């Protein structure tokens, strides 16, 4: 019974049970986790945004200070999440805000060095400072109890830093406890959603986990003073799911085009080593098997198309075998991983970039950085029909769209682009203009700045920790 309630995300019904009658240690653990979940939801509702004073459309007299809470950060973790964070935080600094990032408690021990002991050294990446917090309650002992323990850590951070506004990033794991702490101190909170874990677990068939995550995400969205997401697909999903009417702003992904200034323009390369390029992780949902099958389809028609696939991941061995089985291993270079500093140069010798993502609940809603990088590099772009990619294509103006998981559809688009240099040049021109006008980190960060300033509070000395609230947290 308790497991069924747990899978439904019905924490309240679990807490209503007589815990003394729970003999199974697993049931007792679930009971404690449900207690923590209920406490988190209750605390998130206790200090609603309406109760926070001195916020909303004000003109701040001093330089506005933002504390950003992150799941992970550069240089310790390299990926889309940390790349977006770096771009936004650097852009916010460039737009006149004082910004400091804090990774979630335990990030260093869990992801970097389990033997490391606090205090940890700050990391400074291109002018952006990241600080790191320790934890005495590891996440593996219980996710919701870990979150509850984090509230006091964030209270200490906000009292020390005295920010005007708190910026929390995905997911609920870090955002909800940071929101609770900020609201206890009367600080407004902007929640930036760049990924939804429940969609990943839903795609894997782990529906119980997805239900629990969705419950906590919805609680975070409902209690935040301002919510932004990276695209319309994600925003619409969150609006449909939330009982409370929520306005969700858009802060899309972007790119620093100056990083790609050394990539030779399309017309200046006499001969490309490869027709198609891909730079990123080798995982099943990226659909690289579809690309290989498309190359095979073209080979059957007498057309030899070459591809360079750069990156590592679980699918690498499978892709090598597939290329061999299809008889195209001489046309496909699985180049493996390269250092992050070298990734930009992988566009130099490819004529176009292909992103053949498959449709999953997560890929339909999450926009990767890859298409923006391809556009900034000046390479024609092919994307699958998943919503988060196809909405960038502008009806074929800046990218060609093929039907996801359809090798023949992809083969037709590859053939079309390779045969028409004028279309390639026009797409590149349109894409680079779009990057300059809409998708630079400076422009996107200005959107974020405006959202932050719309709720930021004037500088003030924060009250002492509300120990009566922190002390009421359930025993961990």
User: What's the burial of 220, exposed, middle or buried (CB within 10 Å: 0-12/13-18/19+)?
Assistant: buried
pLDDT (mean) for 26-47: 94
What pLDDT shows up at residue 1? 83
293, 407 contact by CB (below 8 A): yes
Whole-number pLDDT of residue 20: 85
Give CA–CA dist 331/306, Å, rounded: 5
Model confidence over 228-261: pLDDT tens digits? 999 988 999 999 998 777 899 999 999 999 999 9
Cis bond upstream, residue 330 (ω within 30): no
- Taking the C-alpha atoms of residue 31 and residue 12, their distance in angstroms, rounded to an integer, is 10
DSSP per-residue codes, 52-92: --S-SS---SS--EEEEEES--TTT--SHHHHHHHHHHHHH
Q: What angle do CA 167, 61, 177 make, to 5 degrees?
A: 20
| Nearest-angstrom CA–CA distance, 444 and 87 | 9
Report which DSSP code applies to 386.
-
242 Cα distance to chain centroid: 20
- Contacts of the segment 267-272: beta carbons below 8 A, 24+ positions apart: 267/425, 269/348, 269/349, 269/351, 272/349, 272/350, 272/351
Interval 264-311: pLDDT, tens: 999 999 999 999 999 999 999 999 999 999 999 999 999 999 999 999
Kindly state the average pLDDT of the residues 79-102: 95
**Who wins on pLDDT, 470 or 404?**
404
pLDDT of residue 51: 53
pLDDT at 48: 59
Q: What is the pLDDT of residue 58?
A: 45
CB 189 within 8 A of CB 165: yes
Residue 169 clears pLDDT 90, i.e. is over it: yes
DSSP string, 169-199: ES-HHHHHHHHHHHHHTT--EEEEE---HHH
Radius of gyration of the chain (CA): 24
pLDDT of res. 50: 53
**What domains lie within the chain, and their CATH numbers?**
30-254+447-455 (3.40.50.2000), 257-438 (3.40.50.2000)
Task: Give the per-residue pLDDT at 228.
Answer: 98
- Whether 348 shows a pLDDT value over 70: the answer reads yes
pLDDT score for 445: 97
Q: How far is CA 230 from the centre of its chain?
A: 9
**Alpha-carbon dihedral 211, 41, 110, 166, rounded to 10 degrees:** 120
198-236: per-residue pLDDT in tens?
999 999 999 999 999 999 999 999 999 999 999 988 999
The mean pLDDT of the chain is 92
User: Among 266, 262, 238, which residue's Cα sits nearest to residue 250?
Assistant: 238
């Amino acid at each position: 019974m308790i497991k069924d309630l747990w899978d439904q995300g019905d924490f309240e019904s679990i807490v209503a049970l007589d815990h003394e009658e729970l003999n199974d240690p697993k049931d007792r653990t679930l009971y404690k986790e449900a207690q923590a979940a209920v406490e988190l939801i209750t605390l998130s509702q206790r200090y609603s945004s309406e109760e926070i004073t001195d916020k909303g459309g004000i003109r701040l007299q001093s330089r506005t200070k933002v504390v950003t809470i992150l799941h992970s950060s550069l240089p310790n973790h390299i990926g889309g999440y940390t790349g977006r964070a770096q771009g936004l935080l650097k852009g916010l600094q460039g737009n006149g805000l004082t910004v400091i990032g804090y990774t979630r408690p335990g990030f260093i021990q869990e992801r970097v060095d389990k033997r490391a002991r606090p205090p940890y050294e700050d990391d400074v990446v291109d002018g952006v400072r990241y600080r790191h917090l320790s934890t005495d309650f590891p996440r593996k002992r219980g996710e919701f109890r870990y979150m509850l323990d984090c509230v006091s850590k964030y209270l200490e951070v906000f009292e020390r830093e005295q920010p005007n506004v708190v910026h929390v990033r995905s997911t609920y794991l870090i955002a909800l406890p940071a929101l609770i702490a900020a609201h206890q101190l009367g600080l407004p909170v902007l929640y930036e959603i760049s990924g939804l874990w429940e969609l990943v677990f839903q795609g894997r068939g782990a529906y119980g986990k997805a239900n629990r995550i969705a419950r906590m995400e919805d609680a975070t969205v409902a209690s935040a003073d301002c919510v932004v997401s990276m695209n319309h697909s994600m925003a619409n999903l969150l609006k449909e799911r939330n009982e409370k009417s929520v306005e969700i702003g858009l802060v899309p992904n972007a790119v620093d085009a100056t990083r790609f200034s050394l990539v030779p323009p399309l017309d200046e390369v006499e001969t490309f080593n490869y027709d198609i390029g891909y730079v990123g992780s080798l995982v099943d949902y990226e659909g690289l098997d579809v690309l290989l099958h498309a190359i095979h389809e073209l080979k059957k028609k007498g057309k030899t198309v070459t591809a360079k696939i750069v990156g590592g991941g679980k699918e690498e061995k499978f892709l090598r075998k597939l290329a061999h089985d299809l008889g195209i291993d001489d046309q496909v270079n699985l180049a493996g991983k390269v250092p992050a500093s070298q990734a930009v140069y992988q566009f130099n010798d490819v004529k176009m970039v292909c992103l053949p993502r498959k449709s999953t609940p997560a890929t339909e809603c999450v926009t990767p950085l890859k298409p923006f990088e391809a556009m900034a590099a000046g390479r024609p772009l092919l994307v699958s029909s998943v919503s988060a990619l196809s909405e960038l294509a502008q009806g074929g103006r800046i990218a060609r769209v093929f039907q996801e998981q359809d090798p023949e559809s992809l083969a037709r688009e590859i053939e079309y682009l390779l045969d028409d240099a004028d279309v390639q040049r026009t797409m590149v021109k349109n894409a680079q203009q779009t990057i300059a006008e809409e998708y630079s980190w400076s422009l996107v960060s200005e959107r974020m700045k405006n959202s932050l300033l719309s709720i930021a509070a004037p500088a003030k000395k924060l009250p002492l920790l509300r120990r009566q609230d922190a002390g009421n947290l359930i025993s961990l």
